[in-house]
Amino acid sequence: KESQRIGWAVKSDAGFLRLPGQFENLGELVLHRSQALQQAKQKADLVPEESIQILSPATPSSQLICQGKNYSEHIREGGENPADKTFNLFFQKASSSISGPEDVITRPTGVRLLDYELELALVIGKSIIEPARVDSQNLHEFVCGLVMANDVSARDIQIPQNQWFKGKSFRGFCPVGPYVAFLEADEMTEIQNLELELRVNGEVRQSSGADAMIYRPEETISELSTILDLHPGDLVLTGTPSGVAMQAPSALVQRLAAIFLSPGARNRLFVKKQLDRSQYLKDGDLVESTIRTRDGALDLGSQRHLVQ
C-alpha cells in the first residue's frame, strides 16, 4: 500500500517487485501467477519495503475452511486422547474475519477468554468441484502455495455456546500473511519441514513442526473434495499445535461433570476455571508468529499483532 495505492508485489532481496496488471482478489492472482511473476521480474519495478504497508494476501472472496484438533498434543491439552480421534474435523470462519499480518487484534465486547491459534494455511490452486484422489505426488495440482494464519478464538463463546463459527468469526479474527509462498511440484515436500512458532510478549507459547499433523494436506484435500467446492484462492487452515491458552480438564473429569452438573453449571465452571489462566490474551499483549523451515529456504514471513 503505497500512497493509498493497493496492489500486488513479489518479495525480493532488493525490495518488492510490483506485479503489473490488476487482480481483484487472491483467486485471480493464483490463476495468472506464472505470467504475472515473469512480467514482474522483467519489468523490475522496485518498491522499497519501508514505503509500503503489507495487507492480507487473502481477500473476502476466499473461503476459510479449517481443520480442528489436527495435532496430537493440542488434543491432549483439550482433555482428550488423540487415539480416540477417528475423523478429520472441519469448520469454517467468516471471510470477513480476514485481517492483515500486523493489524490490531480487537477484543469483542464482553469477550474475556481471547485465545490464539497459529496455523499453516494451504492455498487452493484450481477449482475442485468433484471428488478427487489427492496424494503426495499430485498435491501440487490442487494446492499452489502456503500462507500463515491465526485462528483467533473467543473461548467463552466457542465452548459454552458450542458455536465454533461464532466464536471464531469476529472481524479481525483471522490474520493472514504477510506472504503467499507459491510452490513448485518438487517443493511440496518442504511442507513437512516447516516449523511454527508463536510468542506472546516474547514468551514462546507454541512451537511445533508441521510434520506433527495427524491428517496430511493430501488426505484433507481428498476428503474436502467429496464435501464442497473449492476454488482458486480459498484457504484451508490445517490446525494448530499445542500451547494455546485454553486448557480443558481431563476426559474423566468432563464425563463426571456431564453426569452431575447441568449444562449451564458446566459452562459457568468452565469459564470460571479458564479465567484463572494467565495465558489468555490481555489488552496490550504483543503476539508474534513465524512459519519457516529451519534452514530458511521456505519462509512465510512474520506476523505481529497488538491486542486491544
pTM for the predicted model, two decimal places:
0.94
- Long-range contacts of residues 157-160, Cβ cutoff 8 Å, at least 24 apart: 157/111, 159/246, 159/267, 159/270, 160/267, 160/268, 160/270, 160/271
Residues 170 and 239 in one domain: yes
Under the banding of pLDDT at 50, 70 and 90, the label for residue 108 is very high
Does 58 reside within a domain?
Answer: no
Residues 183 and 280 in one domain: yes
Under the banding of pLDDT at 50, 70 and 90, the label for residue 184 is very high
Q: What angle do CA 48, 198, 13 make, to 5 degrees?
A: 20
Average pLDDT, the chain: 94
Residue 67 contacts residue 149 (beta carbons within 8 Å): no
Mean pLDDT (whole number) for 65-86: 93
Does 57 reside within a domain?
Answer: no
For residue 251, the model assigns a pLDDT of: 67
Residues 112 and 240 in one domain: yes
Domain total for the chain?
2
Does 290 reside within a domain?
Answer: yes
- pLDDT over 80 (residue 255): no
Residues 124-145 as b or e (16 or more Cβ within 10 Å = b): bbeebeeebebeeeebbebbbb
Does 91 reside within a domain?
Answer: yes
Q: Rounded distance, CA 119 to CA 142, Å?
A: 19
Residues 35 and 176 in one domain: no
Residues 28 and 95 in one domain: no
- pLDDT over 50 (residue 240): yes
For residue 3, the model assigns a pLDDT of: 55
Does 3 reside within a domain?
Answer: no
Under the banding of pLDDT at 50, 70 and 90, the label for residue 4 is low
Residues 31 and 153 in one domain: no
Q: Rounded distance, CA 152 to CA 173, Å?
A: 5
Residues 33 and 75 in one domain: no
Residue 233 contacts residue 61 (beta carbons within 8 Å): yes
Residues 98 and 33 in one domain: no
Does 59 reside within a domain?
Answer: no
For residue 1, the model assigns a pLDDT of: 46
Residues 47 and 72 in one domain: no
**In this structure, is the dihedral angle defined by the CA atoms of residues 175, 181, 185 and 189, taken in order, positive or negative?**
negative
Does 122 reside within a domain?
Answer: yes
Tell which residue, 235, 226, 233, has the closest CA to residue 130: 226
Q: Rounded distance, CA 62 to CA 121, Å?
A: 12
CATH of the domain at 80: 3.90.850.10
The whole domain housing 18 covers 9-51
Residues 81 and 25 in one domain: no
Residues 115 and 234 in one domain: yes
- The length of the chain is 308
Residues 251 and 154 in one domain: yes
Does 175 reside within a domain?
Answer: yes
